[in-house]
Amino acid sequence: MPSEPVSIDTQHNDMVHDAQLDYYGIKLATCSSDKTVKVFNVAKDQEVSHVITLGGHEGPVYEVAWAHPKFGSILASSSFDGSVLLHRETHPTGSWDLVHAHRMHESSVNSISYAPHEYGLILAAGSSDGKVSVITHKDDDSWEVAHFQDNKLGVNSVSFAPYSSNPDKKEMRLVVGGCDNQVRFWTLNSETNEWEQDDFDSSKTEIFHSDWVRDVAWAPSVGSESIVASCSEDKTVIIWSQSEGGGSGWTPKLLNSFEDPVWRVSWSLTGNILAVSSGDNKITLWKATLDGKW
């Protein structure tokens, strides 16, 4: 039997923009227009408790993201003030310290995404200035930043591809959703260490978005096929698929047309169920059947 939903009063003083569970599902991070990030203990069979409120941002905080636990308890947050802050929990004291402040962007940072842990401690950030920055933690405890211009209108979402065990597919890949209604794919060239855009134009396909792309999510690895979900203010969700050895092309399929703008998409850990949140205050779960229908 499914358990009853647990309602949490975050005590934020303004709109809550994001809520993310950590790897083990025992800590919950929330962020808000009140410029703060809050962390809660939500372990099963225990009473929900507030752990800490993290400040440091000078504007609304739009997204939070947990790093893989092999790097410790590290929480990233992105804000309208153009910054990305990374806080780490120190054991056994339980204190939280700011370990890095990334302030490169000239406008709001709307989305953050960690790379698969096999690549190291790496975080991508997408901004309204149209740029994506990739922040890498080095062995000497310094931080290296690379960036590229995705489009001139602004970036709403970024998502890393899962790690591939195929030795010919080791490059890091990113999907970016923008205010120019497009979905773009980028690959890190291992020889030049530069991010290069794939030779693919999502506006030239049979199915495409006609309004801002609000979120993109690369599905966890499900065999040899790459799958990405995108959602838009045009009230649609599109599933993009690319077969192994299929070149740089992607095949779009309309998952559904909704009655309101669609804000977020999120895959299950196994990559077979997609959660969709839309402007009608509903969350729907979608699964592909054997014949490819959702």
132-181: per-residue pLDDT in tens?
A: 999 999 999 999 999 999 999 999 999 999 998 776 677 899 999 999 99
Show the tokens assigned to 275. Answer: 């959660």
Percent of the chain with pLDDT over 90: 82
Per-residue burial over 157-180, b if 16 or more Cβ lie within 10 Å, else e, is bbbbbbbbeeeeeeebbbbbbbbb
Confidence at residue 291, expressed as pLDDT on a 0 to 100 scale: 84
Rounded Cα gap, residues 244 and 222, in angstroms: 12
Per-residue pLDDT of 124-146, as tens digits, reads: 999 999 999 999 999 999 999 99
**Which band of pLDDT confidence, cut at 50, 70 and 90, is reported for residue 65?**
very high
Confidence at residue 245, expressed as pLDDT on a 0 to 100 scale: 65
**Which band of pLDDT confidence, cut at 50, 70 and 90, is reported for residue 76?**
very high
Show the tokens assigned to 168. Answer: 């010919």
Mean pLDDT of the region 77-87: 98
Say if residue 80's pLDDT is above 90.
Answer: yes
Per the listing, tokens 């977020």 go with: 264
Reference 251, options 261, 263, 242, 259; nearest CA is 242
Per-residue pLDDT of 257-290, as tens digits, reads: 999 999 999 999 889 999 999 999 999 999 988 8
Indicate the range of 40-44, 228-232, 275-279 predicted with least confidence.
Answer: 40-44
Residue 155 burial (CB count, 10 A): 31
Rounded Cα gap, residues 51 and 40, in angstroms: 5
Confidence at residue 6, expressed as pLDDT on a 0 to 100 scale: 82
Residue 71 burial (CB count, 10 A): 14
Show the tokens assigned to 6. Answer: 């647990």
Reference 87, options 66, 70, 104, 107; nearest CA is 66
Q: Are the C-beta atoms of 79 and 62 separated by less than 8 Å?
A: yes
Confidence at residue 37, expressed as pLDDT on a 0 to 100 scale: 98
Mean pLDDT of the region 209-222: 93
Average pLDDT, the chain: 93
Confidence at residue 1, expressed as pLDDT on a 0 to 100 scale: 56
Confidence at residue 2, expressed as pLDDT on a 0 to 100 scale: 64
Mean pLDDT of the region 181-195: 94
**Which band of pLDDT confidence, cut at 50, 70 and 90, is reported for residue 223?**
confident
Q: Are the C-beta atoms of 220 and 226 separated by less than 8 Å?
A: no
